[in-house]
Amino acid sequence: MYEVLRLRDLPFFQTVQEILSFYTCPPTCPAICCKVTDIDVDEKDRKILKKAAKGNTTMIKPSTEYESRHYKINPPCPFLEHDKCSVYHRRPTICRLFPFNICHNPEALILYPCDVGASLFDDFIDYSNCVLRQPISEKMISDFRQSHSSFTLETDRDLPIAMIGIEISDLVPFKKYLESK
């Protein structure tokens, strides 16, 4: 039997952290990330949150989606206070990836159209044009930008959110592109 890797142990985690270091949430961020998606946590994240919550972890429910011990926090996140994370320095691993998130394709990550995701996407468009020489389709750009402009409205109405997939194999070259800018 093999050991189940934690999300932060996956090869792309550090690269995503380095990419995200180029971006910051604006002070007016409405914390959509904490209001729209389930928050998956592993045993280690659960223990960290238990300390942060002073033992009150009733909001962290066991999840049967994975073979190993995993848990889920349903939105909105109970650690969200006045649109700010009250456990920011102890937040779960999945939160440290946002606006990236895991998708069903193991070769890609999805990108949410929040303000940081939109800024990142603009840089990714430049990267695709300049480095990959494979422009992103105008329809995809238009759909993502339209989704970004109505992101808050869509989440309030429980409408679908247009997101894009970014190949994991593009993360390291994209990070190097950002470093060179």
In the chain, where the domains are located: 18-180
Q: What is the pLDDT of residue 4?
A: 55
Q: CA 154 → CA 112, 114, 129, distances in Å?
A: 12, 11, 29
Q: What is the mean pLDDT of the chain?
A: 86
Q: Cis bond leading into 26, ω under 30°? A: no
Q: What is the pLDDT of residue 147?
A: 83
- 61 phi, psi to nearest 5 deg: -105, 145
Are 62 and 68 in contact by the 8 Å Cβ rule? The answer is no
Alpha-carbon distance of 166 to 152, in angstroms, equals 22
Regions of the chain short of the pLDDT cut 70: 1-5, 55-56, 66-69, 152-162
Answering whether pTM is above 0.75, one says yes
Report pLDDT for 115: 92
